[in-house]
Amino acid sequence: MPPRPPAEPRFAADAMLGRLARWLRVLGWDTFFDATVHDPELVRRADAEDRVLLTRDRHLLRALAPRRHIEIRHDAPLAQLVQVVRVLDPPPPAELFLRCTVCNGVLSAPVDLDQARPLLPLGLRHDPPTPVRACPDCGRLYWPGSHVRRMRDALVRSLPGWLDAAGREGSAGANR
């Protein structure tokens, strides 16, 4: 069955699509990714959790027949992301960088700078960036560093016009 456009997209990405999974998380979309999960378990989980399975593996699609899937046809992660957005046509997120790009956890509200300061790199402790958010699942800290601007620019170049309302200042991006 072709994927339907979800209000809140939820995905499961196969082992070949780790970088795509990170970009989907940058957009704030719940994306299961674990390179150690075997294909039958990945399909079972995607179907049980009503996730769109993302894969480049045609054999997986034929043999395991996931209910909702997109066969990814590009090599470059941003081209893969563009394909997903074009196929599903979801609304752009209101804000970027709300999920941990590593473990998919939902980032906390801004944390107290006095608590975050000792965990920040030495160069940022004197004048810490704001906001600093934490992943409650893996403990990583996120803040708006220069990479956030570069990632936002890459998204705007890849998806011109689509992100106009998303990713306003104050979004925290992955740093640690």
pLDDT tens-place string over residues 90-107: 999 989 999 999 999 999
pTM: 0.88
Query: Taking a C-beta distance cutoff of 8 angstroms, is the pair 33, 21 a contact?
Result: yes
What per-residue confidence (pLDDT) applies to 167?
45
Tens of pLDDT, residues 6-26 = 568 899 999 999 999 999 999
Q: Is the pLDDT of residue 154 over 60?
A: yes
What per-residue confidence (pLDDT) applies to 172?
55
Domain ranges of the chain: 10-88, 113-174
